[in-house]
């Protein structure tokens, strides 16, 4: 009997050969100056083209949207042309790739911002976290995040247009679609969550107001490239970078129901047990309940990510918890992960010291299984 993990599935206009997707993974290896993908980045993605779907590393939609050193953008012509080399490499190897659209909001540093200004956020609140910056010697280091400034209401429309332009650029770069990153404590997630959004305008207060920014972004991006080429990533009940919501079931339930109107390619949820890249073993029963709730609410294809292995992925698919499983860390060290999972082959162990920044080591030199 064919395991469900290796059965085909339709996603938007595409038919995926199986259900092992590659989750978005920040690697901080874009070329400088200009945060431009390189031939090494194209090789990295080409090696992993056997994924049912590659979701690219988070890619900033504007200079303002950047919060980590050496992450790629999709707002300049040079970046667009460089991403085309990546998409061509993936397609030539038989793969599909969606580009993840990213604005970090408050999780940034003046060194990344236009005119060295403060990062932007829904509200001017301290950020319990650090970001990856370049020190005076040109080295990547973890640095403190300053208290951001609150966006003016009139500024939000321009950011929505930045998302629209980024989506247009992604398809111009040959991408098969885009994923709107609305989780992990970044800008759209900051607006969603009540503890990071203390606004009193039309983007704050009620669930409907806090969801408004994301829904405006989805409307713009779907209008630009077609809803069937758009996915959305959420982290319900996420705690990374200080996230938290007073009524998560109501907030995310409302949002997912509203997303149904577009018939998007997929919804991508991160298991609430994940805090950034770490799995919290102190299990809260509400985590399981909210995923089940959103699964029931969502009318389309659901991707789940968060610490899965072959066995737990199969269980989640058989239980109807998800339609596709996105693997993150296992793909770092195993470019041929789908084959290894299918055949029960041993996995390479990733080297954490090479996760962020660096050269080929720990990036394109992991061996394929012979």
Helices (H), the chain: 39-47, 77-92, 156-172, 187-192, 207-225, 248-259, 285-297, 310-318, 329-333, 337-343
Residue 325 lies in a domain: yes
* Cα distances (angstroms) measured from residue 149 to each of 145, 146, 185, 339: 12, 9, 16, 47
**The pair of three-digit structure tokens given for residue 364, joined into one six-digit string:** 């394109």
The answer for residues whose C-beta is within 8 angstroms of residue 309's C-beta and 6 or more apart is: 330
Confidence of residue 283 (pLDDT cuts 50, 70, 90): low
Residue 184: give its domain's CATH number: 3.20.20.70
Residue 299 lies in a domain: yes
Residue 365 lies in a domain: no
pLDDT per position as a tens digit, 131-161: 999 998 988 899 999 999 999 999 999 999 9
Mean pLDDT to the nearest integer, 97-111:
98
The pLDDT, as a whole number, for residue 280 is 64
Q: Any idea which of 141-155, 271-285, 290-304 has the lowest mean pLDDT?
A: 271-285
Q: Which of 163, 186, 266, 363 is catalytic?
A: 186
The pLDDT, as a whole number, for residue 274 is 63
Q: What is the distance between the alpha carbons of residues 166 and 173, in angstroms, rounded to a whole number? A: 10
Residue 363 lies in a domain: no
**Domain range enclosing 347:** 4-354
Residue 368 lies in a domain: no
Burial environment of residue 32 by CB neighbours within 10 A (0 to 12, 13 to 18, 19 or more): exposed
pLDDT per position as a tens digit, 246-256: 999 999 999 99
Mean pLDDT to the nearest integer, 4-27:
98
Residue 273 above 80 pLDDT? no
Q: What is the dihedral of CA 219, 84, 306, 62, to 10 degrees?
A: -50
The vertex-110 CA angle with 213 and 170, nearest 5°, equals 50
Please count the structural domains in the chain.
Answer: 1
Residue 83 lies in a domain: yes
Residue 361 lies in a domain: no
Q: Is 186 a catalytic residue?
A: yes
Mean pLDDT to the nearest integer, 187-213:
98
Q: What is the distance between the alpha carbons of residues 86 and 97, in angstroms, rounded to a whole number? A: 9
pLDDT per position as a tens digit, 38-59: 999 999 999 999 999 999 999 9
């Amino acid at each position: 009997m064919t395991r469900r993990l290796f059965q085909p599935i339709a996603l938007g206009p595409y038919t995926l050969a199986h259900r092992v997707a590659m989750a978005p993974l920040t690697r901080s290896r874009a070329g400088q100056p200009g945060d431009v993908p390189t031939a090494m980045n194209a090789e990295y993605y080409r090696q992993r083209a056997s994924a049912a779907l590659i979701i690219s590393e988070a890619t900033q939609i504007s200079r303002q949207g950047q919060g980590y050193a050496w992450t790629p953008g999709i707002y300049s012509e040079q970046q667009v042309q460089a991403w085309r080399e990546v998409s061509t490499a993936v397609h030539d190897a038989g793969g599909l790739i969606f580009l993840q659209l990213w604005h970090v909001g408050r999780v940034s540093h003046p060194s990344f911002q236009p005119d060295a200004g403060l990062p932007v956020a829904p509200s001017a609140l301290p950020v319990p976290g650090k970001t990856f910056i370049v020190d005076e010697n040109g080295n990547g280091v973890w640095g403190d995040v300053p208290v951001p400034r609150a966006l003016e209401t009139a500024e939000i429309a321009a950011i929505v247009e930045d998302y629209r332009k980024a989506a247009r650029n992604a398809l111009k770069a040959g991408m098969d679609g885009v994923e709107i990153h609305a989780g992990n404590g970044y800008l759209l997630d900051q607006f969603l969550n009540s503890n990071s959004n203390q606004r009193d305008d039309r983007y704050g207060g009620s669930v409907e107001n806090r969801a408004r920014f994301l829904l405006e972004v989805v409307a713009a991006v779907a209008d630009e490239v077609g809803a069937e080429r758009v996915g959305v990533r959420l982290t319900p009940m996420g705690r990374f970078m200080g996230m938290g919501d007073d009524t998560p079931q109501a907030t995310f339930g409302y949002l997912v129901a509203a997303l149904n109107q577009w018939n998007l390619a997929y919804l991508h949820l991160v298991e609430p047990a994940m805090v950034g890249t770490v799995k919290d073993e102190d299990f809260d029963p509400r985590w399981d309940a909210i995923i089940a709730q959103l699964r029931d609410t969502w009318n389309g294809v659901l991707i789940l990510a968060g610490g899965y292995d072959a066995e737990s992925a199969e269980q989640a698919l058989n239980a109807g918890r998800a339609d596709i499983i996105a693997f993150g860390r296992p793909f770092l060290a195993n470019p041929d992960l789908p084959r290894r999972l299918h055949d029960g082959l041993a996995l390479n162990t990733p080297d954490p010291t090479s996760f962020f920044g660096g050269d080929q080591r720990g990036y394109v030199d992991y061996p394929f299984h012979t």
